[in-house]
């Protein structure tokens, strides 16, 4: 089946790689992001037959009015979205909770939780009506393993996991699928550049000596999940580089 895949945060990282993956397989893609010039560059980099299957929309997922109206304002060619990839998201800062910036917390909650929820509410009714759809949410290992400075970021991703599972509970009896993809350390995206607010040298050090996941690895996981036989649902997929694992409990002895 030819899908129409809406990917949020398609101007960089996982979202861009996911858009490219689905386009390369002949599917239609609606690519969203705030940076219009990146969307234009994505389109310009594609062969003509893929350009014809790509709709780019400069949308801030925190603009709830725009998001709520999105589904009813799509051109006819793209209006039946079959896969929604809620990927737009960010971490800001790594300070402990008592020193973190409240504005950073607000932006993470507005994007990773409220943006994702509004996108879902905008597109899910059409999927249920047409009895066809898959919502794929980008969670994180940060939902499952606390780490210092992860405070609100990890909290938003724990929300994404539980919201995904609760949607599965609501949608049983329909063919609609819901998946939460939870990557660990991934390099080659703008995630750490954004977290460290443009301090690219600091962002680079995060990945020193590690063969981390790549955006293409995550796009592959998303594509695989989305193209499994229709009776199969991946509820949660956690993936890490082989060089990443867990830590022992941190005991402070007084």
| Contacting positions for ligand 8X3 (CB under 6 A) | 140-142, 150, 185
Residue 102: which H helix or E strand, with range? helix 102-108
Contact (CB, 8 A) for 54 and 46: yes
For the record, the structure tokens of 59 come out as 């949308």
Contact (CB, 8 A) for 10 and 18: yes
Closer Cβ to ligand 8X3, 141 or 215, answer by number: 141
Out of ligand 8X3, ligand NDP, none, what residue 89 binds, judged by CB under 5 to 8 A for its kind, is ligand NDP
Q: Is 155 in the site for ligand NDP (CB under 6 A)?
A: no
For the record, the structure tokens of 202 come out as 């600091």
CA max distance for the chain: 66
Q: Is 15 in the site for ligand NDP (CB under 6 A)?
A: yes
Q: For 110, what's the count of Cα atoms within 13 Å in the CB-facing half-sphere?
A: 13
Q: Is 13 in the site for ligand NDP (CB under 6 A)?
A: yes
Q: Does residue 153 carry a catalytic annotation? A: yes
Count of residues that interact with ligand NDP, criterion CB under 6 A = 30
Binding to ligand NDP, residues 33-72 (CB under 6 A): 33-35, 38, 60-62
- Find the shortest distance in angstroms from Cβ 183 to ligand 8X3: 7
Q: Are strands 134-138 and 28-33 parallel, antiparallel or unpaired?
A: unpaired
Where do contacts with ligand NDP occur on this chain (CB under 6 A)? 8-15, 33-35, 38, 60-62, 87-90, 111, 115, 138, 140, 183, 185-186, 189-191, 194
């Amino acid at each position: 089946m030819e899908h129409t895949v809406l990917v949020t945060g398609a101007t960089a990282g996982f979202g861009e790689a996911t858009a490219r993956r689905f386009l390369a397989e002949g599917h239609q893609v609606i690519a969203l992001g705030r940076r219009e010039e990146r969307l234009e560059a994505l389109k310009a980099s594609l062969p003509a037959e893929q350009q014809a299957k790509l709709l780019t929309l400069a949308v801030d997922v925190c603009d709830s009015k725009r998001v709520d109206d999105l589904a009813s304002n799509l051109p006819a060619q793209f209006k039946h979205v079959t896969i929604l990839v809620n990927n737009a998201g960010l971490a800001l800062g790594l300070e402990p909770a008592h020193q973190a910036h409240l504005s950073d917390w607000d932006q993470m909650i507005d994007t990773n939780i409220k943006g994702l929820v509004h996108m879902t509410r905008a597109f899910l009714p059409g999927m249920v009506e047409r009895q066809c759809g898959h919502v794929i949410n980008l969670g994180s290992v940060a939902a499952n393993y606390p780490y210092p400075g992860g405070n609100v970021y990890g909290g938003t991703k724990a929300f994404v996991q539980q919201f995904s599972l609760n949607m599965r509970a609501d949608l049983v009896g329909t063919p609609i699928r819901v998946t939460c993809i939870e990557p660990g350390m991934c390099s080659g995206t703008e995630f750490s550049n954004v977290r460290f607010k443009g301090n690219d040298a600091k962002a680079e050090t995060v990945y020193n000596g590690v063969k981390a996941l790549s955006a293409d690895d995550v796009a592959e996981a998303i594509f695989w999940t989305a193209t499994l036989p229709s009776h199969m649902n991946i509820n949660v997929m956690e993936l890490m580089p082989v060089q990443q694992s867990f830590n022992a409990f941190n005991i402070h002895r007084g």
